[in-house]
Amino acid sequence: MEDKQIIAAYSKTLKKLRIEKSISQEKLAFKAGLHPTYISLLETGKRQPSLSVIFRIAKELGYLPNEFVKKIEEAA
Amino acid sequence: MEDKQIIAAYSKTLKKLRIEKSISQEKLAFKAGLHPTYISLLETGKRQPSLSVIFRIAKELGYLPNEFVKKIEEAA
């Protein structure tokens, strides 16, 4: 799987799960201790999350990190 | 879980799985398309992997990304 595919699958999955949870980008960023615009950068594929960001965002969306990563694999 | 714990758990898990597979840091870096010293930086916690690096390394160690992340969670 190419990096581009992985990043696109992450962006798609993050947006879908965030909307399912009815939480704004800014609120999710705040709860995960991230810059207010960071979620937008992730959802548009302009940034890649680091390991700790993956863990933080998964938690705020109510998933274990491995569950969240599995959804990314499924979306790729 | 604090970022420091996550990074420490990743470093520990990466080293353990790499040794179990009897592959050198340099060879794993080469197969994953990374700089030869990057695996050492990851194993000593000096760098955090990005999403695509997590996927690449998991693949070269013979794991699905979510399986690899689950091992990190278990090591934390």
What is the ipTM for the molecules in this complex?
Answer: 0.93
User: How far is B64 from chain A, CA to nearest CA, in Å?
Assistant: 9
Report how many domains make up chain B: 1
Q: For residue range B23-72, what is the model confidence (pLDDT) as tens digits? A: 999 999 999 999 999 999 999 999 999 999 999 999 999 999 999 999 99
CATH of the domain at A13: 1.10.260.40
Q: In this structure, which amino acid lies at residue A40?
A: S
Looking up tokens 């999955």 gives A13
Q: How many CB atoms lie within 10 A of CB A4?
A: 10
* Chain A (37-66) residues lying within 8 Å, Cβ to Cβ, of chain B: 48-52, 54-56, 59, 64-66
Residue ranges making up the domain that contains A63: 3-75
SS3 B5: helix
Q: How many CB atoms lie within 10 A of CB B44?
A: 10
Q: For residue range A31-55, what is the model confidence (pLDDT) as tens digits? A: 999 999 999 999 999 999 999 999 9
